[in-house]
Structure 1
């Protein structure tokens, strides 16, 4: 049941991220002595900073990847109330220190590109058609590439 609640909280946070145009990621969690989950954190995908030791290396063979982390403070923390054995929200911070993703680009973020099982089954039923025609058909059903929901 705990995993179900954690999954529901993550789905809610992903919907919030999609509506407010920011990427999300799972953060740290805590377990009690019986290995049961007692709290879970979810963050903006730009939370935190890259460790400084990566910048100081002299033996680098490749250039640094572009910096995407901005130490954003946006987060959601849920925890298990031990008295009532119910899950509660401990902290919600909705302030970003970076520009949000454009509405027309939010569907390209990896965690918002999930394909429904019904869509997969529909595509498998058209196995004789070329992939480009299947995709064009799906775009027509969705009424646009940005409304397709997957890439």
Structure 2
């Protein structure tokens, strides 16, 4: 997480409008897993515990806001996943970690765990297909942060 922490610090100092949802407790993370009916990768749980979710405003990584995993609005993992399951027939094995305003949906594919990690995929809302984005959440997050720091 050290590299991620450094990238987050760089993003915070970049002058961009940045928002973090606040640390999530272990209990909240476990409750989120229960609500979703699946375990989450260790790297994502570490991110939730440290930052809760967030990033550049209007491009935030979904998370647990105010340490409440039951919130169902946009920007929360639970809310974004429920919305996509209802509106786009998102499969049960996908957990939304990013829902862009232009129907961009990036997810954890919790059916493909390799040890404690699973890949991040893009879900196409029209074809209902997925495309690999990153082998782990940490790889995804490092790229997300790097692109926004340099933009």
Q: Give the TM-score normalised by structure 2.
A: 0.21
When Rg is computed on C-alpha atoms for both structures, the one with the higher figure is 1
Q: Give the TM-score normalised by structure 1.
A: 0.21
